[in-house]
């Protein structure tokens, strides 16, 4: 008679519970701020046991990064017909996302903590930055297919190009919204896009 395996693999994660926990984390950040937020408060808001959080996240830093990361996963790059429109569209989306209280509070908090926590900085890179470079790669591939941009000479050049584009766009929007506190209006979006696509000479004529 064959024997059944009695090895336990653990209870699978519940996507509904995960979503409730991440939503509760963002709400707690808005209400309490980083310093007062605790896993106990998040568990209470999400309606789960605190042990449920500890099975999924090692601590507050990791939980907050994941709570922010799912917001950035909402960003999309629909085909608007040309590269200029594609860039302007994603810049407006990104700025609107950063203007949301839960995004603003959570992102500023984790970035501040990451200045003295290298593992947290690495989690931000992998969970947010690297995941969102998909938009650059998607937009670049679409522009190449339209004949709007040349193909990079090597995979290494393509990777460097994607890093630079992401840094320029993300850095500019984050600085404008969270540091300067100024509006990302149509004129600013158009100027940033002109600078990115045409270089300093083109932007100077805007």
pLDDT digits (tens, 9 = 90+) for 113-167: 888 889 889 999 999 999 999 999 999 999 999 999 998 888 898 888 899 999 9
Q: Which of 39-43, 103-107, 173-177, 180-184 has the lowest mean pLDDT?
A: 103-107
For the domain made up of 73-197, the CATH class stated in words is: mainly alpha
pLDDT > 70: percent of the chain:
90
How confident is residue 12, by pLDDT bands cut at 50, 70 and 90? low
Domain with CATH 1.10.357.10 in the chain: 73-197
Model confidence at 2: pLDDT above 80: no
CA atoms 33, 37, 41, 45: torsion sign: positive
* Of residues 106, 126, 122, 102, the one with CA closest to residue 114: 122
Is pLDDT at 10 greater than 70 in this prediction? no
Fold of the domain built from segment(s) 15-68: Arc Repressor Mutant, subunit A (1.10.10)
CB 194, CB 203: distance < 8 Å: yes
With residues binned 3-state (H G I as helix, E B as strand, rest as coil), the percentages for the chain, rounded to 5, are 70, 0, 30
Domain with CATH 1.10.10.60 in the chain: 15-68
């Amino acid at each position: 008679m064959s024997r059944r395996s009695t090895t336990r693999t653990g209870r699978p994660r519940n996507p509904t519970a995960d979503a409730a926990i991440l939503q509760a984390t963002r709400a707690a950040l808005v209400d309490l701020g980083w310093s007062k937020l605790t896993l106990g408060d998040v568990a209470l808001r999400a309606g789960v046991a605190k042990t449920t959080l500890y099975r999924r996240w090692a601590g507050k830093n990791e939980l907050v990064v994941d709570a922010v990361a799912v917001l950035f996963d909402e960003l999309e790059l629909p085909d608007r017909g040309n590269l200029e429109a594609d860039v302007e569209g994603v810049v407006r989306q990104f700025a609107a996302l950063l203007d949301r209280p839960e995004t603003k509070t959570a992102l500023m908090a984790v970035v501040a903590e990451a200045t003295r926590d290298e593992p947290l900085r690495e989690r931000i890179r992998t969970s947010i930055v690297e995941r969102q470079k998909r938009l650059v790669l998607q937009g670049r591939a679409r522009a190449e297919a339209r004949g709007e941009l040349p193909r990079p000479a090597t995979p290494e050049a393509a990777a460097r190009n994607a890093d630079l584009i992401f840094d320029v766009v993300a850095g500019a929007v984050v600085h404008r919204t969270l540091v300067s506190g100024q509006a990302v209006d149509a004129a600013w979006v158009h100027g940033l896009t002109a600078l990115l696509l045409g270089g300093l000479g083109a932007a100077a004529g805007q």
